Structures are given as structure tokens and as C-alpha cells.
Amino acid sequence: MKRAIIYARVSTEDQAQHGYSLVDQIDKCILRAKEEGAEKIIHCVDEGFSGDLLARPGLTKARNLIKTATINFFICFDPDRLARKLAHQLIITDEIEKHGCKLVFVNFNWQNTSEGRLFYSLRGAIAEFEKEKIRERTMRGLRQKALQGGLTHNPDAYGYDYNQATNSLIINEREAEVYHLISSWFLDESLGYSAIARRLTSMGIPTKRGAKRWAATTVLRMLSNPLYKGELWLQRYDTVGKKNNKYLSPDEKVKVTEHPKDHRVLIKVPAIITSSTFHKQLQQAKRISRLSKSRANYLLSGLVFCGLCESAMTGTRNSHNAYYRCTKGKHCPQPYLPSKVAENAIWNEVIAMLSNKQILDGLNVSDAECYEVQVLRRQLYEGEKEYERLINLIQRGYVSLDDAEERLTSVKDRINRLNISLQSQSTKKEQDPKTFQLSTKLKSLSFKSKQRVVRSLAERIVVFPDYLVLYASIPPLVAANNCPPSGT
């Protein structure tokens, strides 16, 4: 009994451009197998696999059968269904012929002669060249489309929906509200990526793809993506061949590389946040990335830099003391800086800044307690906005009341505490109109509170062998001429 393998392959690209279909290929291969006298026909099919790959499930099955069983015919619709690369075509052809199996193509006359092999090789080379030309034209067309301000793909980004009719992004209002919450937690509460991911998960807010659990890396990418300030960069990465990586071994996987900056194309999309807010997110992200991974607590983590080599300095400790050291190690002559010495010096300077009459005069601050009032009102404003966003998400059915109840209660308690603090401030008697009465309060703060104050003021601390330089700025909130009116 004669046996034949019929092999058929189609990818999305082939189906769209050439009209190939699995059913059509299989029908014609079966007909040809019967013409050759085959009585038993074995189907080996690859759907959605590129012809660039040699390791395809259907093809691998066929090759194994040829090696282990008696197969009389290997029938394929066309040589480019067998492989898109000439080298792969020749490897498979040699295997088939080596095991005494006859190679048959439906629309190509294969002859195992010198002339036949030459023509077969030429045809394979031309097919490979044609595929590269198609790829080149496709990439050129996509680039031209990008240069004209059009989208070349759906970014599938949280906060946006893709309008296929207009080939544009539109803001998804519900997801945009969630993005504002994420930004607020990151900037106002200084939550890290993992903490934000846990909070989103606990509130039952799904990801863009409907998953129940959020990942810290997803939050990181969202907060550092310029898309949300209205800038989408196209043609940034070279991803040719990447789609086949899941079928390749680690050594064969194609690495995604970045195109040169002059090759990238910027298009404008609707913005969810302002450029200023995005810049603050980047600055906060930089600080987080510099935080020490040591178990010890360091007040100045992420802020200290070496004045000799400009490298970052991180916290370290021995059995007795904690220090800040230059990350260049032995390659930098900077001595270890005792953490207590540095932290006491910087904290005293922070207290002096917030109590300095000349600084206040320079800022034209007219109210003795204006700083505290502004901070409280700003925190109250952010709390009320978060509460409003949570209510909107609940009303629209995006999250359930049960899932958001704990967060709502927490925000509401925070709003109540801030209102009480504001009322307390308004009943205080005005003292010296040009000095802060903060020294006592600042000295009694917890470590985490001190760290928040330092990070809100200090931009960087540069260490030299004999002295420190603190680069700091009073937040714009404090630099206003007058306290904002209640409710702003």
C-alpha cells in the first residue's frame, strides 16, 4: 500500500496577499496524491506559521514520519509552502530524497536532475528575494503613513481605545480616571509600583486585557510612557522576526533593537495628563530607581551623588555603622561618609530652610502659617479629587462598591483629618508674620515623614571629602504670594 504525506501551510500574510487557504491546498494535494496512486494519505498542516521557520509542528511531524516510516510521496502545493528560505528548502528536499520518498509539488514540476535542482534553487532564491521586497515595501509604506501622522498599529494602551474607522486613538474616560488615580498615588502618596499594583488589584479594577491582577512592571511602563502626555513615538523599534521568537530556542531568538533617533516618528494623540505632570512622574521614577536595596533605612537614599566622579552613592553598613559609599568603589578616592553625619547635617539644613526669615522674605510669604495651610489645602484637594474619581468609577460600573469600599473609607478618613487640621490652623493666633513655627514639629517627625520632607525639597546632595552641597528648591506650592482661598 502506497502512502503519501501532504503538507500545507498558511500564514495570515500569505492568505491576505496571495489568496492561499489551507482547504484549497489540502484539496489539491489530495487530488495529486490520488493521481500518484497513494492509498493512505497523512495530513501535516501548519496554520499561522511563517515560512521563515524551519521548526514548525506540522513540518516536524512530516520529517519524523519520513525518517521512521515508509512514506512513498511527500506532496506540497508549492515550494514556498515548504519554506521561504532557499537554505531550508534544500535541507528538507535532501531529507525527503535521502529516505527514498518522492517529492511532488502541485504547481511546480520537480525533477531530481542537475538541471531540475538548478531551476529549483533559482526559483527558491527568487521567492526569498520576493519576500524581502514585499517586507521592504511594507515597512516603507508604514513609515510613510507614520510621517503623515497616521497610526501604523493599535498601541493597545490603557486609557485609550482604537477607532478603526478613523485610524486614531480616543480617550477611554473610565480608564483615564484610573490613570489619574495611579498618577496621584505615585506623586502625592509616593507609592511604589508594587504598592499601586496591589491597590488596583484589591479594588477589582481590571487591566486593559481584562486580567484581575496588576503587575508592577505594567504600572512602571504606564507612568513612564510619553503617550499619556500626548506623544506617541512610532518606528522606534526594529521588530523584524520577533513574532517567531516563541517557536525558537533561546540562542535563535531575534533581539528587538532600537532604531536611531532620526528614524523615529512622533505623532500627536489626545493627552490624559499635562507635560508638567509627566515630567514629575519621570523625576519620581528616577528617585525610586536610585533607592537603596539595603535593609537599613537611609534618609537620603536616591539623592546622594559623588562630587569627585559624579556617580551615585548608596547606603551600606558594617557590623557597627552605616555609611554612604560611591558606587565606583575602588575606582573612586571618595571616602565612606557616615550616614549619621550626613543625615543630621542635611536634616538640620532642611529645618533651617523652613524656618529662615530671609528665605520667606524672598518668597514674599505674607502669612506665618501659610506654608502649612497650603500643604493641607493641596492634600485636601488631591483627596477630594481621588474620592470623586472613585465615585465616578463606581457609578459607571467599572468597579463595585464592595471592592472600592475600603479605599473610599480610607480616603474619606483622610479628608476628615485634613479638614480638622485646616480648622485648627484657622483658629490659631497669628504670630511673627515672617517666620515659621515648624522647628519643634519637624524634629519630632517619624523617619518616613522626615524622608518625605527631604525628598520634597532636595533635588540632589553632592558629597566632597570635606563638605556636602545640598541642591534644593521650595516647592511651587510654597512660593505663592498669598495662601490660596479655601477650596482651591
Model's pTM, two decimal places? 0.58
Cα–Cα distance for residue pair 86/79, rounded to 1 Å: 10
Q: What's residue 290's pLDDT? A: 62
DSSP 8-state secondary structure symbol assigned to residue 334: P
Q: What's residue 129's pLDDT? A: 80
Q: Of 283, 311, 328, which residue constitutes the final position of a domain?
A: 283
Q: Within a domain: residue 263? A: no
Q: Are residues 36 and 125 in the same domain?
A: yes
Other CB atoms within 10 Å distance of the CB of residue 386: 22
| The one-letter amino acid at 107 | N
Q: What's residue 463's pLDDT? A: 93
Cα–Cα distance for residue pair 320/144, rounded to 1 Å: 64
Domain enclosing residue 277, as ranges: 160-230+269-283
**Cα-trace Rg, the chain:** 33
Chain centroid to Cα 37, Å, comes to: 57
Other CB atoms within 10 Å distance of the CB of residue 208: 14
Q: Are residues 90 and 213 in the same domain?
A: no
Q: Within a domain: residue 241? A: no
Q: Are residues 312 and 184 in the same domain?
A: no
**Contact by Cβ (8 Å): 311, 332:** yes
Q: Are residues 39 and 12 in the same domain?
A: yes
Q: Are residues 71 and 173 in the same domain?
A: no
Give the phi and the psi of residue 339 in degrees, each rounded to 5: -65, -35
Q: Of 380, 411, 429, which residue constitutes the final position of a domain?
A: 429
Other CB atoms within 10 Å distance of the CB of residue 253: 14
Q: Are residues 65 and 14 in the same domain?
A: yes
Q: Of 429, 448, 469, which residue constitutes the final position of a domain?
A: 429
Q: What's residue 15's pLDDT? A: 56
Q: Within a domain: residue 251? A: no
Q: What's residue 43's pLDDT? A: 94
Instruction: Say which residue the cell 480638622 belongs to.
Output: 420
Is 11 annotated as catalytic?
yes
Q: What's residue 275's pLDDT? A: 93
Q: Are residues 323 and 466 in the same domain?
A: yes
Q: Are residues 359 and 304 in the same domain?
A: yes
The four Cα atoms 228, 234, 239, 243 give a dihedral, to 10 degrees, of: 60
Q: Within a domain: residue 249? A: no
Cα–Cα distance for residue pair 331/340, rounded to 1 Å: 25
Q: Residue 237 is inside which H or E element, if any?
A: strand 237-238
Q: Within a domain: residue 254? A: no
Q: Within a domain: residue 154? A: no
Task: Please calculate the CA angle 468-440-284 and round it to the nearest 5 degrees.
Answer: 50
Bridge pairing between strands 3-10 and 40-47 = parallel
Q: Are residues 446 and 324 in the same domain?
A: yes
Q: Within a domain: residue 394? A: yes
Q: Are residues 338 and 473 in the same domain?
A: yes
End-to-end CA distance of the chain: 89
Q: Are residues 332 and 357 in the same domain?
A: yes
10-residue stretch averages of pLDDT, the chain, 488 residues long: 92 59 90 92 90 86 90 91 86 89 88 78 79 79 83 89 89 91 87 89 88 92 94 81 68 77 87 93 80 62 89 85 90 92 90 67 46 68 81 78 80 82 62 48 75 81 92 56 40
CATH number of the CATH domain containing 217: 3.90.1750.20
Q: What's residue 366's pLDDT? A: 42
Q: Are residues 175 and 136 in the same domain?
A: no
Bridge pairing between strands 304-306 and 458-463 = parallel
Q: Where are the extended beta strands (E) located within 73-217?
A: 73-76, 102-105, 160-163, 168-171
DSSP letters spanning 59-103 = HHHHHHHHHHS---EEEES-HHHH-SSHHHHHHHHHHHHHTTPEE
Task: Please calculate the CA angle 290-295-297 and round it to the nearest 5 degrees.
Answer: 70
Cα–Cα distance for residue pair 77/36, rounded to 1 Å: 14
Q: Within a domain: residue 260? A: no
- Closest-CA residue to 187 (of 472, 455, 488, 459): 455
| The one-letter amino acid at 459 | E
Give the phi and the psi of residue 93 in degrees, each rounded to 5: -60, -45
**Number of structural domains found in the chain:** 4
Q: What's residue 18's pLDDT? A: 56
Cα–Cα distance for residue pair 310/327, rounded to 1 Å: 10
Where do the H-state alpha helices sit in 323-369? 339-355, 357-363
